[in-house]
Amino acid sequence: MFHWLSKLYLHFALPVALVFCTTSVSAQGFQRYLVPEEVIEYPHRLQVTWANDIFFQTDRYYTNGVEIEYHSQQLGNSVLSRLLFDPLVDSKPIYSLVLTHEIYTPRNVLGDPSYNDRPYAGVLLLGLKGAFYDEAHQYVLRSTIQAGLLGRYAGGQLVQNGIHVLLPASEPIPGWDFQIQQEMLLSYLVDYQKLLFDAGKFQMDALAATSLGLPLTDFSGGLRLRYGQGEAFFSPQHLLAVEGMQYNFFAEATTRYVVYDATLQGGAFNGSSPHTIETINPLLAQVKAGASFRYHKVTAEIGAQWVSAKFENALAHKWGYFVIGFLF
């Protein structure tokens, strides 16, 4: 039943929703031209995130991810920035260009993937992100529009086997011949975080997010606990202050409802993938914990994430990640 509803969403509800979303934010973008905007100058920022399950001595499922984010206020002048959801209040926006690469593999990488194991998949996305901070009401709203590729031309096989060739104890993985086939990707993401409780260094936030389109359509909500000091968390200065020092330790728990996952179920139009998972577990639990630090123009974060099993007979999965950022 859920598989049938996913297909219905993919072929009918998704195109309608994307058109509605684009029309709504375009009208909203027109409104922004009618209201004079304060020109805010911030330094440029480059941030690199690396995620891998090698931290837990596994090599399966979401096995490697790299995200490169470049912040420049000049991106706010682009046509695409008018498609980003803006709360149209006294917010302080910052804009970023985001390049994302993700690699997914089955549990058994020594042979052909079995019918109850996840398929190989590579994802490559380029997106524009706007983060709108409201210090008065203590929240941040981020919206991102992304486009990219799923399949062979996303470079999952190239990157993973390229790394294995360089390592003396590793060999190329032949199973990439069974990866999810080529597909164009388009998605729209909205992420909302709001302060609920403030007791000095100890704080609690509400979390809500949605992703509409491909490769993923889902909805999530949860809570985050933070302990730390430094610039106000719901201010651009949290990331873009050029002086001072700050630290934060955090833990968050979220529940996700997944409507469609193209890295498991295949794309919307290319039905030639040799192996897919037809029925996924729609309700997932996810936990994340870590620590972040900033010293003058350098920021760093280290942490780990855990997610429950995404389909029948699958295992829960966890991975670690590391973030480094520089202002210039």
Give DSSP secondary structure letters for 48-69. Answer: EEEEEGGGGT--SEEEEEEEEE
**pLDDT attached to residue 138:** 94
Domains and CATH numbers, the chain: 2-33+43-327 (2.40.128.140)
The Cα–Cα gap between 250 and 304 comes to 11
The answer to whether 180 and 150 have CB atoms below 8 angstroms apart is yes
**pLDDT attached to residue 117:** 95
DSSP collapsed to 3 states, 269-321: CCCCCCCCCCCECCEEEEEEEEEEEEECCEEEEEEEEEECCCECCCCCEEEEE
Low-confidence ranges of the chain (pLDDT < 70): 1-40, 88-89, 169
The answer to whether 86 and 130 have CB atoms below 8 angstroms apart is yes
**pLDDT attached to residue 163:** 80
pLDDT one-digit tens code per residue, 84-99? 988 766 777 899 999 9
